[in-house]
Amino acid sequence: MDTNGALSLLTFVAVALTHGSAAAATFYVDDTGNDTNNGRTPRTAWATLQHAVDTIRAGDTIKVLPGVYAGCRIRKSGAPGRPKILRAEPPWGAVVVAQGPINLHNSNIEVEDESGGVVQHWVIDGFELANALRSGVDVRVTRDITVQNCHVHDSVRTGIFTAFSDHVVIQHNESESNGEHGVYTSNSGDFPVIRGNLLHHNRSAGVHMNGDRNFTPGDGLISFAEVEGNVIWENGLGGASAINCDGVSDSVIRYNVLYENHASGISLYAIDGSEGSSRNEVYNNTIVMAEGSRWVVNIPESPEGISNPRCNTIVNNILYTPRLDRGSILIYEGGAEDPCFYSDYNVVVDRFSRDNGETIISLASWRRATGQDRHSILAPPWALFVDPTSDDYRLRVGSPAIDGGLFLWDAAPDALEGTPPPIGATHDIGAYEADTSSEHGQR
């Protein structure tokens, strides 16, 4: 390379560095480190999460080594395509047991700019978060924040909480034994994704999505949510639903397995939301309720001054409850006759209510009165599943749910487990798509 070429290259590098496009760097945190170190190697690791999140630039990764830590408050954004990453290595090796030194909400890790800005482009990955005085992870006024692969437990309130946040992704976490909900998205927020989580033994909901017209800014709705591929069990001894939707609209709830939950299964309603939960697609979920629980799908009347839920679709679900004075679907009076409400191709019990729970009617009466569930079937758990006594809700060979569903073009690739059907085929009912070549009918 000649001198002019070398000078041109140096100039390019200088300009790139000036504009912040330098190569991403990796930094280390160790609970035996020191914040006066450079953080570049495990031997020169920083000591605190707070120092680390305040120091790195867009695209950088913080690797937090095994140990016990106080949390932190994240206030500075990453960049599009260059998120900042806070990662425990190995997963669950770093345990966060207390709030950070400048946290404001008594939560262990908080993402919020108290000066009023929107924090964007972060990934929080792989932490164990225990015994939070409020929430394990607390995300407020943000965009494009991901919380993944964490184990959150024994929070006084909620495991993973968000407010006024758009495009938040909560995936592949375990959130359990919290005093309120496993995952809670609140206020106004669009495009949340809640995917592939294990949510269990929370006192209230597994997933609680709560639009709220009483707080600004925003429209008082959670909109365009995707809740898919979660396994949710043993929640609700304090009330709420396995998946609770207050003012949740234009969203998809699919391929979730809900079992042994003690309140409701999926509720579409309004108390705080600015409208009753509407235009949602609920399909290919397996819901098996606990003894003494409430309705499997609950769509009640809204309070005065708020519109009732409308235009919801309930297709290809297994909706089972053992309780004889509750049933598969409750809806407010007139709701099932709404021309844009649709329920069909479900496996159900022989109990429905079309008047907000005042009376219970059979599947045959439900069909005659509403025109709904014309292709739905009655079947007990022992006929459907590999081993319901051991909570194995895969479809057994000969299950009437196999090929019993309505084919949905956008659903085939998203089966929780198993082999998606070929294009143009029928669909199985429930969260698992059967592989009939195997011994039990399911991989």
Q: CA-CA distance, 420 to 430, in Å (whole number)?
A: 12
Say how many residues make up the chain: 443
Q: CA-CA distance, 418 to 422, in Å (whole number)?
A: 12
pLDDT score at 18: 38
pLDDT score at 419: 43
The alpha helices in 149-240, defined as continuous H runs, are none
Whose tokens are 């959130």? That residue is 175
pLDDT score at 397: 95
pLDDT score at 22: 66
Q: CA-CA distance, 370 to 368, in Å (whole number)?
A: 6
Q: CA-CA distance, 301 to 400, in Å (whole number)?
A: 33
Residue pLDDT tens, the chain, 443 long: 444 444 443 343 343 443 445 689 999 999 999 999 999 999 999 999 999 999 999 999 999 999 999 999 999 999 999 999 999 999 999 999 999 999 999 999 999 999 989 999 999 999 999 999 999 999 999 999 999 999 999 999 999 999 999 999 999 999 999 999 999 999 999 999 999 999 999 999 999 999 999 988 889 999 999 999 999 999 999 999 999 999 999 999 999 999 999 999 999 999 999 999 999 999 999 999 999 999 999 999 999 999 999 999 999 999 999 999 999 999 999 999 999 999 999 999 999 999 999 999 999 999 999 999 999 999 999 999 999 999 999 999 999 999 999 987 654 444 455 444 444 456 899 999 887 655 444 43
Structure tokens at 196: 């592939």
Helix (H), strand (E) at residue 425 = none
pLDDT score at 421: 45
Asked, as a colleague might, if the bond just before 309 is cis with ω within 30 of 0, I would say no
| The residue type at 253 | I
Instruction: Please state the three-class secondary structure of 106-125 as a single string.
Output: CCCEEECCCCCCCEEEEEEE
Q: CA-CA distance, 443 to 435, in Å (whole number)?
A: 6
Is the Cα torsion angle 428, 430, 435, 438 positive or negative in sign? negative
pLDDT score at 19: 41
- Measured CA to CA in angstroms, residue 360 lies from 300, 307, 329 at distances of 14, 24, 10
Q: CA-CA distance, 295 to 352, in Å (whole number)?
A: 9
Q: CA-CA distance, 58 to 50, in Å (whole number)?
A: 16
Question: 150 with 127: CB under 8 angstroms?
Answer: yes
Q: CA-CA distance, 354 to 146, in Å (whole number)?
A: 40
pLDDT score at 5: 47
